[in-house]
Amino acid sequence: MSRKKKYVYFFGAGKTEGHAGMKDLLGGKGANLAEMANLGIPVPPGFTITTEACIYYDRHEKHPPGMWSQVEAALAKLERLMQKRFGDPQDPLLLSVRSGARVSMPGMMDTVLNLGLNRTTVEGLAAITSNPRFAYDSYRRLINMFGGVVMDIGHHHFEDILSAKKQQRGADLDTELTAEDLKEVCNAYESMVRNFDSASFPHNPLEQLKMAVNAVFGSWDSPRAITYRRLNKIPGHWGTAVNIQTMVFGNLGETSGTGVAFTRDPATGARTFYGEYLMNSQGEDVVAGIRTPRPIRYLKRRMPKIYNQLEEIYERLERHYKDMQDIEFTIQDGELYMLQTRTGKRSAQAALKIVLDMVKEGLIDEREALMRIEPQQLDQLLHPMFDPGATYTAVARGLPGSSGAAVGVAVFSSRKAEEWGAQGKDIILVRNETSPEDVGGMAASKGILTATGGLTSHAAVVGRGMGKCVVVGCGALDVDEKKGLMQVNGHIVREGDWVSISGDTGDVILGKVPLIEPTLSRDFEKFMKWADKVRQLEVWANADTPKDARMALRFGAEGIGLARTEHMFFTEERLPLVQQMILAKSDSERDAVLKKLLPMQRKDFQGIFTEMKGRPVVIRLLDPPLHEFLPRREEILEELYKEKARKSHRKKQISELSNLLHEVEAHHEFNPMLGHRGCRLGITFPSVYDMQVRAIMEAAVKVKKNGHRVRPEIMIPLTGTVGEMAITRENAVRVAEEVLKKAKVRIHYTIGTMIEIPRASLVADKIAKHADFFSFGTNDMTQMMFGYSRDDAARFLGFYVEQGILEDNPFSTLDVEGVGEMIKIGVERGRSTRPDLSVGICGEHGGDPASIEFCHVTGLDYVSCSPYRIPVARLAAAQAAIRAPRS
């Protein structure tokens, strides 16, 4: 037979069995208590029951063999150490029971204090402390907590009894009740508990302990905990540990107290001891907010010895853990006890300052510093945000589409947004949903708010690209564009009314919330340079204009991985031309329009090339289906019916509208995402791509002749077959060579393709023979691999993530199992025939840390993302390289 399994680990007073490395077994709290004890820091002694015991209990509905006898042995040891006995009627040992999983996890049973009190021992406690009020208050708290968390009795049942007693005594505060009052309250609690359920409050201390331990075990599988785990991707097999610890009391009088502190300022990161304390109180009093705690610096004057001891401990803890700590302590009768230490949460600014300082202090090195900051956190540093000091009430909440906060006047049409934006007004563009026609209005706005659509809807994707604050899918909005107003939860917002939105939380607020502007600090630049030193993945930007390009460079882009030419088609000046092009009845008519568009596109490209100073610029030829450039069917239909309903028919208008309707219907597609777009257009209407390639190469020639370097890369979208690639490449080369020959200059250019059609990944070996580079279009790839329409999937995606069918929204975080596998196949096959193939991704995932890690591991050369996501991507790439360096 194997040795008995160890389920109980003792800690405190030189008998500690665990340490900080045992979080899996002892939970975070238990492991850190053991660690502190090992460091000689005073913690109330106790013991931890392991997570394995919890899992066994949840599976078998009983303790694992031997566990309880180990508990009893540990308890005996504790009694010897404290020289008190659990349940001793004269001088009872009191215990606390706390849960503690590997990570902090709401939804589980939390804490029961004062275990060991009953009608007998409470008298002993009263006698030995000479403080009957304290004793009965402690007993009252035990019944309340035990009843609540172990016996599942609603808190209000206890609150009612206490309130009744206070009313009876004319007391405002609990503290005004006498020991006798509290004793009566205890009696009332006990009989209420008895009536509430057939079970009584257990007076046997060991039974109290066993019930509390089992309640902690059971709470791991409570519906609330399960939901929390699902949402936060915590495996169910982790389990929780249980910490049983000698009680210490901060409420024994004026030399007792309790407090929480951070070893550095969690808001700014400044290297000052930061915290609050409250004399003569227990932790829950601080939380209840009845009395206001005082800043920790006042403790220095009041109890200098304790304060110095605390300072010494926090410095020791920081040096030991090499990170900012969040600590809890209790002072009992002038003696300090540490109840908890853990890594402290902090703002993005603080996080940055702390790691920079710690590197300077020699606590950690640069690589460790890089691992300490969540890439997502950097986002907070790049956008305006609500003043943290401001208070506000959200009238509704949508989905956080794009980071930052924005304040402006509500406007319900893009036309109006452009008009008012030009006048310098701050605009929030409010729409049911946005479409490519809204791009101008979006650009003119500070923020965008939509009633429908998910995190990858047009508004969110384009808004992120523009670095706008975006809130989408706010179902509470009822937008009436025509009337120029919206209703939201009973409020009416008219055009021109002030609105504030937060792209970090999705909050929608009526009126103005004060904003603070971010700055790219020197700290930030320094930190990013560290990231650049270690990362092996290049970071490029998705940028469609010279302004975007400038922004991208400022954020550290090393190239442009996606310049979408169609965004250049939606401006007021060009859209009519584009529509003429689409509706052209003959090739010559189309060519005439293209001739007008050529110089405009050339100018676009020239501007971008000039900004990018010889860095690679990948320009994607026209991608969306043509009907995106046409008015919507319903709109024409509506106008037509209106026109027909007029008393005096206007034949000309009706006929024009009918013709337009006919054209639009001819371009209608049932599933435009799977329709006549991308290179399918380029092949069926080759003159459009020819014009674009000409514009690109002529622009490159101009830039080169102006003495600058230039590196154009032409990208064919939506390739699915080798034939498409071969034909479009051949055409592009023909036009490019024609331009270069005429200009008598040589410019190195490349021609590659988006890989976004699943089939293309499977035949990548063949396509690579005609392509200089691949750029995985992970948005479309995700759509087709899953068969999800980005615009429609919101109907079930949320539910799927909630149910755990999907780990994440695959449009936010790359689905490594499916889409990732397809990308791997594509990279492998592509490089099998062209080993020097340059490979990147340019979907929305290019700015998502988890997806970036995948790109690093899969051996991609670069990721391309929105300018505002570039710092995030740089850090994520650095972290990926540290975790799994490429050889």
| Sole window of 221-229, 310-318, 605-613, 674-682 interacting with a copy of itself (rule: CB under 8 A) | 674-682
Q: What region does 347 belong to: left with phi over 0, alpha with psi -120 to 50, or beta?
A: beta
**Do residues 731 and 690 touch, judged by C-beta distance below 8 A?**
yes
**Do residues 470 and 460 touch, judged by C-beta distance below 8 A?**
yes
Q: What region does 183 belong to: left with phi over 0, alpha with psi -120 to 50, or beta?
A: alpha
State the minimum distance, in angstroms, from the CB of residue 757 to a copy of itself. Answer: 5
DSSP string, 675-717: SS-THHHHHHSHHHHHHHHHHHHHHHHHHHHTT---EEEEEE-
181 binds a copy of itself (CB under 8 A): no
Q: Crossing angle, helix 132-145 and helix 155-169, to 10 degrees?
A: 150
Q: What region does 366 belong to: left with phi over 0, alpha with psi -120 to 50, or beta?
A: alpha
Residues 795-854 that bind a copy of itself (CB under 8 A): 795-796, 799-800, 803-806, 815, 817-819, 821-822
Q: 765-780 burial, b if ≥16 CB within 10 A, otherwise e?
A: bbbbebbbbbbbbbbb
State the minimum distance, in angstroms, from the CB of residue 672 to a copy of itself. Answer: 7
Among 676, 708, 769, 831, binds a copy of itself (CB under 8 A): 676
| Sole window of 237-245, 362-370, 384-392, 718-726 interacting with a copy of itself (rule: CB under 8 A) | 718-726
**Do residues 92 and 83 touch, judged by C-beta distance below 8 A?**
no
Q: Among residues 550 and 759, whose Cβ is nearest to a copy of itself?
A: 759
Is residue 54 among the annotated active site residues? no
Catalytic residue among 54, 63, 383, 458: 458
Distance, in Å, from the CA atom of 158 to the CA atom of 887, rounded to the nearest integer, reads 64
Q: Among residues 788 and 862, whose Cβ is nearest to a copy of itself?
A: 788
Among 263, 775, 778, 783, binds a copy of itself (CB under 8 A): 783
Is residue 458 among the annotated active site residues? yes
Q: Label residue 299 exposed, middle or buried (CB < 10 Å: 0-12, 13-18, 19+).
A: buried
Report the run of H or E that residue 654 belongs to, with start and end.
helix 651-666
- Spell out the residues 6+ positions from residue 456 whose beta carbon is closer than 8 angstroms to its own: 779, 790, 809, 811, 812, 844
x-or-dash string of contact with a copy of itself, 752-771, rule CB under 8 A: ----xxxx--xx--------
587 binds a copy of itself (CB under 8 A): no
What are the φ/ψ torsions at residue 499 (nearest 5 degrees)? -140, 145
* Pairing mode of beta strands 447-450, 515-516: unpaired
Q: 26-65 burial, b if ≥16 CB within 10 A, otherwise e?
A: bbbbbbbbbbbbbbebbbbbbbbbbbbbbbbbbeeeebbe
Q: Among residues 419 and 433, whose Cβ is nearest to a copy of itself?
A: 433
584 binds a copy of itself (CB under 8 A): no
Q: Among residues 100 and 810, whose Cβ is nearest to a copy of itself?
A: 810
547 binds a copy of itself (CB under 8 A): no
1 binds a copy of itself (CB under 8 A): no
Residues 251-270 that bind a copy of itself (CB under 8 A): none
State the minimum distance, in angstroms, from the CB of residue 630 to a copy of itself. Answer: 15
Q: Among residues 637 and 882, whose Cβ is nearest to a copy of itself?
A: 637
The sign of the torsion formed by the CA atoms of 283, 288, 292, 296 equals positive
**Do residues 866 and 847 touch, judged by C-beta distance below 8 A?**
yes
Distance, in Å, from the CA atom of 674 to the CA atom of 566, rounded to the nearest integer, reads 18
Among 81, 654, 727, 743, binds a copy of itself (CB under 8 A): 727
227 binds a copy of itself (CB under 8 A): no
Q: Among residues 108 and 771, whose Cβ is nearest to a copy of itself?
A: 771
State the minimum distance, in angstroms, from the CB of residue 783 to a copy of itself. Answer: 6
Closest CA to 467 of 124, 790, 206, 847: 847
State the minimum distance, in angstroms, from the CB of residue 577 to a copy of itself. Answer: 23
205 binds a copy of itself (CB under 8 A): no
State the minimum distance, in angstroms, from the CB of residue 37 to a copy of itself. Answer: 44
Catalytic residue among 54, 186, 679, 842: 842
Among 572, 573, 634, 836, binds a copy of itself (CB under 8 A): 634
State the minimum distance, in angstroms, from the CB of residue 732 to a copy of itself. Answer: 16
648 binds a copy of itself (CB under 8 A): no
Among 724, 772, 844, 853, binds a copy of itself (CB under 8 A): 724
**Do residues 886 and 877 touch, judged by C-beta distance below 8 A?**
no
Among 437, 786, 850, 859, binds a copy of itself (CB under 8 A): 786
Alpha-helical regions (H) of 804-865:
821-833, 849-857
Using CB under 8 A, list all residues that contact a copy of itself: 633-634, 637-638, 641-642, 644-645, 669-676, 680, 683-684, 718, 720-721, 723-724, 727, 756-759, 762-763, 780, 783-789, 791-793, 795-796, 799-800, 803-806, 815, 817-819, 821-822
- Give me the active site residues, please: 458, 842
